Amino acid sequence: MFSLGNIIRQRLTGFGKDEYFRRGTNLKIVLVEVTIFLVLVYAIGFFLNKEDPLFMNNRHSIAIHLLPLAVLTLYYGFIVGTIYTALFTAIQYFIYNRLEGSYLLYLFLFLLIFSEFHFYWNRILQQNQERVEYISDKLRGIAKSLYVLKLSHDRLESYHISRPISIRGFLEDVKRDILSGITLEEALKRTFTLVSNLYAIEKAGLYEFRDGKFVNLVSVGGMGELNTKDKLVEYALEHGEAVYIPASAVDGLTTYLCFIPIHFEESLKYAVVIERMPFMNLNKDNILSISMLLYYILWDYYELEAIRDIHKKFEDVDVETIKEIAKCAQLKKRYDVDSSLVVFNFDSWDESIYYLFSDNARGLDYVSKYGDRSMLVLLPLTNLSGAYSFIKRMENVVREFKGANYAQLGISHQTYPVEDAEDILSKLTQREVKV
């Protein structure tokens, strides 16, 4: 996220800040590669012609020296290409006691051309990668919502409505508290307490993996320090997956029933370790549910933390709307990926039009009501031209459904490019005041 929770990702862009810095490539390794190319060219030249080892007097000289320059510059960028050119210039002066100005200028010209190809190619790759990651985030969000809905339904069904526990309600409460400023540790503790009650866990603990050690955050039943030498724990850490065993197999093998790792951004962050719980509750579905709930809170915390300050300024705007606008604004700021926001104003609010838009929008699009007589349609990865096409397409849908166009139904619209989250939210709130 930004995923916003991207979280999330930090990549440098711009001329002179090359891909090898963003990849974290060791500069020493790059210098070794440059040296290898130079030594290879010089060795071949020395073997073939000791009088002219750099082929400066050969009619194919420029083609020979453009090959390593092209490989290094296209892959690493301007800085490495400059290093290669500088070293080549030094070697040329050392061997021939003179410099070919026009020759070096010719090489530098190609260096600039190759650098431009490198820059724009990586820019396109970054933009496409961000589009894919944005779509993945949307799918992940849908999956989380569906799973939470399933959990709530399962709990209601299992308690026969006599003891309703609304997981969705709990998550909404935690979201509000996160926006109010509670810490991630507190949010996880509350979730672990809920999980313990839901599945009647008698003895367990939630641990944070910090500096190579497991630190106990919260426990039930007097759960103490985690024994990392335990066979079940060692197996779970080695394979990076949740592990559980029947209570009958505990004696002699392990003191724990279950180890649930919580990974985030491809690294282990937390773990739930259960030592004692009812046999009927120890199953794959419940373990998956525990993992999902904690992961849900972990992911939501970082997403909501990123928009906490903006939400304080625009509390009348739905938090999910702010979150989606902030994601699109971050894509525009970092990778110049366009998104658009269309605001539809109704003379008299029509609920059927709202649902009509929701049903006919793309899966990526975000439709929400704003105020008493407005509807927002966020179009991620869509420029203004695409937004106008969307407006026209939806007018045809509305005409087919209602038998009238926007003007006849008292609907007006405004379109904004999504560039800065605070700026566009300010325009929305100011527009609402005017209306």
Q: Between vectors from CA 357 to CA 354 and to CA 360, what angle results, nearest 5°?
A: 150
**179, 290: one domain:** yes
Query: Which of 348, 347, 371, 365 lies closest to 431 in space, CA to CA?
Result: 371
Verify that 374 and 429 share a domain, yes or no. Answer: yes
Q: Indicate whether 273 belongs to any domain.
A: yes
360: its two tokens: 């006919």
φ and ψ at residue 258, rounded to 5 degrees: -155, 145
The answer to the question of residue 156 being in a domain is no
The tally of domains found in the chain comes to 2
Which residues, 6 or more positions from 187, have their beta carbon under 8 angstroms from its beta carbon? 174, 177, 178, 297, 301
> Is 356 found in the same domain as 278?
no
Task: Say which residue the tokens 């849900």 belong to.
Answer: 296
Q: List the structure tokens of 209.
A: 């993996």
Taking only the tens place, the pLDDT of each residue in 248-291 is 555 567 889 899 999 887 788 999 999 999 888 888 878 888 88
- The dihedral over CA atoms of 426, 431, 434, 435, expressed in degrees to the nearest 10, equals -140
The last residue of one of the domains, among 247, 275, 306, is 306
Largest Cα separation within the chain, whole Å, is 96
Per-residue pLDDT band for 141 (boundaries 50, 70, 90) equals: low
**CA neighbor of 219 nearest in space, from 234, 208, 229, 232:** 208
Beta-strand relationship, 366-370 and 340-346: unpaired
Amino acid identity of residue 58, one-letter, is N
Determine the Cα–Cα distance for residues 30 and 26; give it in Å rounded to an integer: 7
Establish if 52 belongs to a structural domain. no
- Rounded Cα distance between 100 and 96, Å, is 10
In a domain, 71, yes or no: no
Question: pTM to 2 decimals?
Answer: 0.60
Same domain, 191 and 277: yes
In a domain, 123, yes or no: no
**263 — phi, psi (to 5°)?**
-95, 145
Question: Comparing 160 with 90, which gets the higher pLDDT?
Answer: 90
Amino acid, res. 94: F
Q: What is the pLDDT of residues 42-86, one digit of tens each?
A: 777 677 766 776 767 666 677 777 778 888 888 888 888 888 888
Instruction: Based on the fold, state whether residues 353 and 423 are members of the same structural domain.
Output: yes
263 and 300 within one domain: yes
Residues 6+ apart with CB under 8 A from 303: 1, 3, 4, 5, 7, 323
Write down the pLDDT at residue 140.
67
Place of tokens 């002179």: 16
- pLDDT per residue as tens digits for the range 379-406: 988 899 999 999 999 999 999 999 999 9
Between CA 207 and CA 186 the distance in angstroms is: 13
Residue 13: pLDDT above 50?
Answer: no
Strand partners, 416: 341
Strands (E), 125-278: 203-210, 213-220, 243-244, 258-264, 267-276
Q: Count the Cβ atoms, other than its own, within 10 Å of residue 180.
A: 10
pLDDT the model gives residue 88: 78
Does residue 270 contact residue 188 with C-beta atoms inside 8 Å? Answer: yes
Domain end: 306, 335, 358, which one? 306
**Rounded CA Rg of the chain:** 30
Q: Do residue 225 and residue 355 come from a single domain?
A: no
Can you say how many angstroms the Cα of residue 86 is from the centroid of all Cα atoms in its chain? Answer: 39
In the prediction, which pLDDT does 165 show? Answer: 53
Which range of residues forms the domain containing residue 343? Answer: 317-434
Q: How many CB atoms are located within 10 Å of the residue 64 CB?
A: 15
pLDDT the model gives residue 100: 74
- Whether residue 96 lies inside any domain: the answer is no
Q: Is residue 376 part of a domain?
A: yes
Instruction: Tokens for 374, please give them.
Output: 């407005």
Gap between the terminal Cα atoms of the chain = 33
The band of 226, judged by pLDDT with boundaries at 50, 70 and 90, is very high
The answer to whether 227 and 233 have CB atoms below 8 angstroms apart is yes
Please give the share of the chain, as a percent, with pLDDT higher than 70. 80
Query: Counting beta carbons within 10 angstroms of the beta carbon of residue 323, is it exposed (0 to 12), middle (13 to 18) or buried (19 or more)?
Result: buried
Residues 299 and 363 placed together within one structural domain of the fold: no
Tell me, yes or no, whether 234 and 298 share the same domain.
yes
* Same domain? 301 vs 322: no
- Residue 235 maps to a domain: yes
CATH assignment at residue 292: 3.30.450.40
Same domain? For 264 and 330 the reply is no
Among residues 278, 306, 334, the one where a domain terminates is 306
Report which of 293, 295, 287, 235 is spatially closest to residue 264, judged by C-alpha positions.
Answer: 295
Same domain membership, residue 343 and residue 296: no
Please tell me the distance from the alpha carbon of residue 149 to that of residue 157, in angstroms, as a whole number: 12
CATH at residue 415: 3.30.70.2880
